[in-house]
Amino acid sequence: MKIEAVELRVLKMRLLKPFRTSFGVQQDRYPLLVRLDIDGRSQWGECVAGEGPWYSYETVETAWQVLKGYLLPAVIGRDLANVDALETLFAPVRGHHMAKACIEMAFTAALAEHARKPLAKFLGGVRDRVETGVSIGASLAQGYRRIKVKIEPGWDVMALGAVRERYPEITLMADANAAYGLDDAAHLAQLDRFGLLMLEQPLAAGDLVDHASLQRQIRTPICLDESIESARDARQALQLGACQVINIKPGRVGGFAESRRIHDIAANAGVPVWCGGMLETGIGRACNVALATLPNFRLPGDISASDRYWAEDIVEPPFTLQRGGTVAVPTRWGLGVRVKVDLVERLTVRRELIGS
């Protein structure tokens, strides 16, 4: 499999509803897409980097730079037998997992297509539908398996208490996106009474030791998101007792291969994982859905339907919410959805072809 050239492009897409996190409010998403030209065929991928360096140090701008300057020159024109070969060529670049992941995932989808298998089956998936949750600021969403409320200091105990009172039975969790410190342990312990499925990333990404300390002071299971950038992070977090659940986003950890390593480490420790979301278009969503078919993805993911975010998704068919709060896993070979190239063209605000 030879990557002959790669086209980078940034789209501008209006979110149906502004998305609020502890970082701020976001109205537009600028997805960075890649199109790999492999053995005469096109393979699309999506980089999940954000517009600013808040969730991660990576941004659309840094990912473009690192792809163009370092990652693509290392792989374009080379015959790559498998993902191991790709990972070896990317290894000298430190970090920048989101930039690496979009190429790794597109390459893996191309391998799946070449093997005449749907991506989910190629990855070893065991499900034909995946359970979906939704991540919200304040308004409730019907039909999903669980609801995740974004919290921050000043919007936590009261907000979750109000949701819990109105919906006593709903599967509820909270995501703090690193907005607290270990000093807040007693305050966060007040969340224990709401029977939360988990509390996601209460402390800063680098604070594994403090997460372990916090977990000893609260009953709610801690889930780590931003803290887990690799299989090594996952192993160390579990050794320390820093979490009881792991959110895997393939973009954050560098792709499918590293996601699977984290999946396996957690499975061996008896720790469930679930698939996070980064307000992806249908391309990134298809990757998340395929990954979430692996056996230890035992909790609903942030794999909402396309129409939760977009008036019109850039793939066909779009992902729809189905009975029981699930999304069907595509059965066609490779990525499993068709990219609407005309729509992508209309939404493009920046493009460049990187050749050999």
- Answer yes or no: 340 catalytic: no
Among 196, 279, 287, 327, binds ligand NPQ (CB under 6 A): 279
Sign of CA dihedral 51, 179, 262, 84: positive
From ligand NPQ, Mg ion, none, interface partner of 135 (C-beta below 5 to 8 A by class): ligand NPQ
Nearer to ligand NPQ, 256 or 274 (CB): 274
The Cα-based distances of 147 to 119, 198, 222 in angstroms read: 27, 11, 16
Shortest approach of Mg ion to residue 174 CB, angstroms? 10
| Pairwise CA distance, residues 123 & 257, whole Å | 9
Q: Select the residue interacting with ligand NPQ from 86, 149, 234, 278 (CB under 6 A).
A: 278
CB of 19 to ligand NPQ, least distance (A): 6
Which of 21, 22, 108, 132 is close enough to bind ligand NPQ by CB under 6 A? Answer: 21
- Name which of residues 212 to 251 contact Mg ion (CB under 5 A): 225
CA angle 296, 194, 272 (to 5 degrees): 10
Q: Tokens at residue 317, please?
A: 């068919």
DSSP letter assigned to residue 234? H
Q: Give the burial class of 228: count Cβ atoms within 10 A of its Cβ; 0-12 exposed, 13-18 middle, 19 or more buried.
A: buried
Could you confirm whether 249 is annotated as catalytic?
yes
Cα(2)–Cα(5) distance, integer angstroms: 9
301-340 footprint of ligand NPQ as x/- string (CB under 6 A): -x--------------------------------------
**DSSP assignments along 42-61, one per residue:** EEEEEE--BSSSSSSS-BHH
Site string for ligand NPQ, 113-132 (x = CB under 6 A): --------------------
Pick between residue 173 and residue 290 the one whose CB is nearest to Mg ion: 173
Interface region with Mg ion, contact rule CB under 5 A, candidates 34-42, 143-151, 170-178, 229-237? 170-178
Q: With the CA atoms of 346, 315, 33 and 273 taken in that order, what torsion angle do they form, in degrees rounded to the nearest 10?
A: 150
DSSP alpha helix (H) spans, 115-145: 119-122
Compare residues 276 and 330 and give the one whose CB is closer to ligand NPQ.
276
Interaction of residue 178 with ligand NPQ, rule CB under 6 A: no
Q: How many CB atoms lie within 10 A of CB 129?
A: 16
Residue 352's φ and ψ, nearest 5 degrees, are -160, 135
**What are the CA-CA distances from residue 91 to residues 239, 278, 313 (Å)?**
25, 24, 33
Question: Interface with Mg ion includes 280 (CB under 5 A)?
Answer: no
Show the site string, 196-235: x = touches ligand NPQ by CB under 6 A, - = not.
Answer: -----------------------------x----------
Please pick, among 100, 121, 148, 150, the residue that the annotation labels catalytic.
150
Site residues (vs Mg ion, CB under 5 A): 175, 200, 225
Tell me which residues touch ligand NPQ (CB under 6 A): 19, 21, 26, 50, 55, 135, 175, 177, 225, 276-279, 302
Positions marked active-site: 150, 249
